[in-house]
A = this chain, B = another copy of it.
Amino acid sequence: MPKGQTPVTPQDGRTTNQRRHQPVVVLNHGQGKGKSTAAFGLALRGWSQGWSIGVFQFVKSAKWRIGEQQALEALGELHAATGQGGPVEWHKMGSGWSWSRTRGSEEDHAADALEGWREVQRRLAAETHRLYVLDEFTYPITWGWVDGEEVAATLAARPGTQHVVITGRDPHPALLEVADISTEMTKVKHPFDRGQRGQRGIEW
């Protein structure tokens, strides 16, 4: 097979260029490391394309991804100041979503997660961003807070050219189905196993 040739040429009446610029759903799952890290690496690429990046962190955590947030928000500020790259928005569930009026008012994580997903739905409908990172979004689906079938249906029907990256373990089958690029990260070796804890800069 010549280099750059795909194994199958689809008979869908579209040109290679049309097929090349398809919106994709990327799913990074598995028990290993690198699921979120790879998602934020993808955000780096998108930024330098001038894309609008929206990050949505769906799980409250003592280890927020402070490093990635600082770096991506710095890139967002650079865009605002110089026009380089694209804009970046970073929203997290912890103390209430940034757009919510009821910030930190209660501890109903299920309602918070659903509220986050509803906002993502609104943004997808409005084509607000070019790339969405839904970080650890598999968990609220696994816990029954957000409906996996509904998520898959929304993603499948989203308008325009909006890319969506979802991270987390044990994805709902409907997510695996709707994903265009799905990678399973498998832990081969990790220092946690031999008694070393996580460290700043490497783990978060």
Contacts and interface: CB of A to CB of B under 8 A. Distances in A.
Interface of A: 4, 6-10, 16, 19-22, 24, 26-28, 30, 32-34, 36-42, 44-49, 51, 65-68, 70-72, 74-75, 78, 84-85, 131, 163, 176, 179-202, 204
A136 to B, nearest CB: 15
B68 A45 contact: yes
A48 to B, nearest CB: 4
A16 B198 CA distance: 10
Contact of A37 (B42, B68, B78): B42
B20 A47 contact: no
Contacts of A202: 24, 26, 42, 45, 163, 181
Contact of A22 (B4, B47, B199): B199
Contacts of A36: 41
A170 B188 CA distance: 13
